[in-house]
């Protein structure tokens, strides 16, 4: 007879692992506080308590006055699913590919447990209402006592401490297309320097402030329920956003507005001995949301398993304040990129391993729901932007460095400023150490053999340190490396061949003329003979850049229609999207995919989105203004998306 994961938790059959405290040593139930997590989606700290004078967030502000405000808190990824993987597991998504990609399904090692499983073993009744989006194969109903809209502490046993997570989707990016209006008007907002200051963009900023105010009301409703139920004195309350905001160059991008989130914790007087600071305090040391599961285990008196990399922010043991917060970007929806970043709260360093791709690659959902993206793109195509505003649509530098105090909009790249050299070197080294420490999986193409927490630790498949060196050399686009890249095409290691081909691709017109024919010959051999489609795709795009189109485009057209691998289809379509008019021979296949019936959200929608955009650009009819949802479609999307949750009243719980 076999038991489910839920049964194993119930009967104590799952091992806590070598690093965990035995159940017999856990605190008694009466020694455990209740814990309430209030989670809002897609939020920068557009909040009064963080100093925003335009924001109207009285309930969150009141929570901050009697709680602890973390001034420099960050999500691990600038998008929900990888960020929620980190929160659920306490592991860096980049350590367990493909969890670092948006909308993937990573395999969590069978002996690893999530925080609700561990908290249940510690004696907590664990509730999640309703969003999951965990980016891995864990069944939410197996790890929670209650999962879904009916979840509430009122459904918990009275003699058991609860951990209750409420998620509000009111601030999710899809809602900005509604144009409901509110207290904040377009004239009230400040437009950052990287954006054109137009009426359309001002309206989106004002709308974001107004949906933040509506979300604040929902937070207030939950806090009032807790007070009315007589539980406030025995409940530690966390409020945080799951990733950065939704306005242009925020969600999906590795800048402050994509990664910085609010985090406020209220510890009632009874439990002040678990707090790191007095009520009303601020903590300036950088923290990330991966610290949250470690914090829960610290409150419950459980030692954290070795795979959980966060630091407890409060509880029975408090971690030493961190010096840095790290973030990343890999595939975001249908667009591939590879970005790693680190901040100390004052400076942000960004490393772009794919600088040949534009920062602002077209992402269908962004353009559909947000008028500001469409406006920005249209003005770029019309040649009406400044260089600073146009940078979003152009290839990226390999490295970026910003002084967040002097340049909060992150538009003045100081990477080549001699006065910033020591800071840049310090942050470079910190990022390298972090990537090696967590075994960053980002240099393995999505879908290739070797993905996974343990699988990627096989250095015969994934020699990380060497790959980091090769990828950095490729991204620097130095012509002196061409012979090295050509030689590495003979490597038996798939990931090395992949990055060698990408190095030749990124050289582009910097390729020395005397090396071009040798590069073509070797890439053509890869195109025909390599065992890995992922490597052949990069070779095909590189060959097009060197003037060899026929065989290359034919291969890409074949692979975009391959039903066996979604990552291969997306990678091939990504290559077609970036070779310009050379993709015209693939037009019949592109048109077929663009007109395909939508059957399942991920399997068809991402390639379909890519094909629709590519088709319109190849046929010369692309107009950003046509991409927006109609008012009816916007309303339907907001009512009908089951992964997002509206106000708490929709679950039947009111004060």
Residues tagged active-site: 80
Task: Look at strands 399-403 and 68-70 and give their pairing.
Answer: unpaired
**With 0-12 CB in 10 A as exposed, 13-18 as middle and 19+ as buried, what is 54?**
middle
Question: Which ranges constitute the DSSP H helices of 229-326?
Answer: 256-259, 291-300
Beta-carbon contacts of 447 under 8 Å, excluding residues fewer than 6 positions away, are: 98, 534, 565, 566, 567, 568
Three-state secondary structure string covering 376-424: HHHHHHCCCCCHHHHHHHCECCCEEEEECCCCCCCCCCCCCCHHHHHHH
Q: ∠610-590-529 over CA atoms, to 5°?
A: 95
240 three-state secondary structure:
strand
- Separation CA 252–CA 261 (nearest Å): 13
195: left (phi over 0), alpha (psi -120 to 50) or beta: beta
CB 168 within 8 A of CB 646: yes
String of DSSP letters for 488-537: HTT-S-HHHHHHHHHHHHHHGGGS-GGGHHHHHHHHHHHHHH-S-HHHHH
Nearest to 392 by CA among 365, 424, 359: 359
Cβ(114)–Cβ(165) under 8 Å?
no
Per-residue DSSP letters for 434-500? Answer: HHHHTT--TTSPTTSTT-STTGGG-TTT--HHHHHHHHHHHHHT-GGGHHHHHHHTT-S-HHHHHHH
Give the C-alpha separation, 270 to 238, whole Å: 16
Q: What is the largest CA-CA distance in the chain?
A: 79
Interatomic CA distance for residues 179 and 182, integer angstroms = 9
């Amino acid at each position: 007879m076999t038991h489910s994961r839920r049964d194993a938790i119930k009967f104590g059959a799952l091992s806590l692992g070598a690093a965990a405290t035995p159940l017999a040593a856990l605190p008694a139930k009466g020694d455990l506080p209740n814990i309430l997590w209030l989670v809002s989606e897609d939020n920068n700290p557009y909040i009064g308590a963080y100093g925003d004078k335009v924001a109207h967030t009285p309930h969150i502000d009141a929570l901050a006055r009697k709680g602890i405000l973390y001034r420099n808190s960050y999500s691990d990824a600038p998008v929900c699913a990888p960020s929620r993987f980190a929160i659920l597991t306490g592991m860096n998504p980049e350590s367990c590919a493909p969890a670092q990609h948006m909308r993937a399904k990573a395999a969590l090692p069978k002996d690893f447990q999530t925080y609700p499983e561990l908290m249940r073993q510690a004696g907590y009744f664990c509730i999640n209402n309703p969003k999951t989006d965990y980016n891995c194969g864990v069944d939410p109903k197996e790890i929670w006592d209650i999962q879904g809209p009916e979840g509430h502490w009122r459904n918990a046993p009275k003699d058991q401490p609860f951990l209750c997570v409420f998620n509000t989707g009111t601030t999710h990016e899809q809602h900005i297309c509604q144009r409901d209006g509110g207290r904040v008007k377009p004239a009230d907002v400040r437009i950052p320097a990287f954006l054109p200051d137009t009426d359309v963009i001002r309206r989106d900023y004002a709308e974001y402030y107004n949906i933040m105010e509506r979300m604040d009301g929902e937070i207030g409703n939950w806090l009032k329920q807790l007070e009315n139920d007589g539980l406030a004195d025995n409940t530690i309350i966390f409020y945080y956003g799951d990733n950065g905001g939704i306005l242009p160059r925020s969600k999906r991008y590795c800048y402050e507005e994509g990664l910085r989130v609010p985090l406020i914790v209220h510890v009632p007087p009874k439990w002040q001995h678990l707090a790191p600071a007095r009520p009303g305090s601020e903590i300036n040391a950088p923290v990330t949301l991966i610290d949250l599961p470690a914090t829960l285990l610290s409150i419950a008196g459980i030692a954290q398993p070795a795979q959980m990399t966060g630091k407890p922010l409060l509880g029975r043991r408090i971690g030493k304040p961190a010096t840095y917060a790290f973030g990343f970007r890999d595939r975001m929806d249908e667009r591939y990129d590879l970005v790693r970043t680190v901040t100390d709260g004052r400076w942000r360093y960004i490393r772009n391993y794919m600088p040949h791709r534009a920062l602002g690659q077209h992402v269908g959902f962004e353009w559909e729901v947000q008028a500001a993206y469409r406006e920005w793109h249209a003005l770029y195509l019309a040649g009406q932007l400044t260089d600073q505003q146009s940078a979003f649509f152009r290839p990226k530098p390999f490295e970026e460095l910003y002084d967040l105090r002097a340049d909060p909009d992150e538009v003045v790249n100081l990477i080549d400023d001699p006065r910033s050299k020591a800071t840049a070197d310090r942050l470079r080294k910190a990022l390298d150490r972090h990537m090696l420490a967590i075994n960053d999986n980002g240099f393995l193409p999505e879908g290739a053999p070797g993905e996974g927490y343990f699988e990627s630790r096989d250095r015969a498949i994934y020699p990380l340190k060497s790959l980091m060196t090769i990828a950095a050399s490729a991204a620097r686009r130095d012509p002196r490396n061409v012979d090295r890249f050509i030689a590495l095409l003979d490597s038996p290691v798939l990931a090395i061949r992949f990055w060698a081909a990408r190095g030749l691709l990124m050289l582009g017109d910097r390729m020395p003329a005397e090396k071009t024919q040798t590069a073509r010959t070797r890439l053509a051999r890869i195109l025909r003979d390599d065992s890995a489609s992922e490597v052949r795709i990069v070779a095909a795009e590189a060959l097009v850049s060197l003037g060899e189109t026929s065989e290359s485009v034919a291969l890409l057209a074949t692979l975009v229609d391959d039903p066996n691998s979604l990552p291969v289809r997306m990678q091939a379509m990504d290559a077609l999207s970036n070779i310009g008019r050379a993709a015209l021979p693939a037009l019949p296949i592109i048109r077929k995919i663009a007109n395909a019936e939508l059957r399942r959200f991920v399997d068809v929608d991402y390639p379909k989105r890519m094909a629709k955009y590519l088709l319109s650009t190849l046929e010369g009819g692309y107009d950003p203004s046509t991409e927006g949802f109609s008012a009816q479609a916007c309303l339907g999307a907001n009512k009908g998306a089951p992964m997002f949750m509206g106000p708490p009243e929709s679950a039947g719980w009111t004060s």
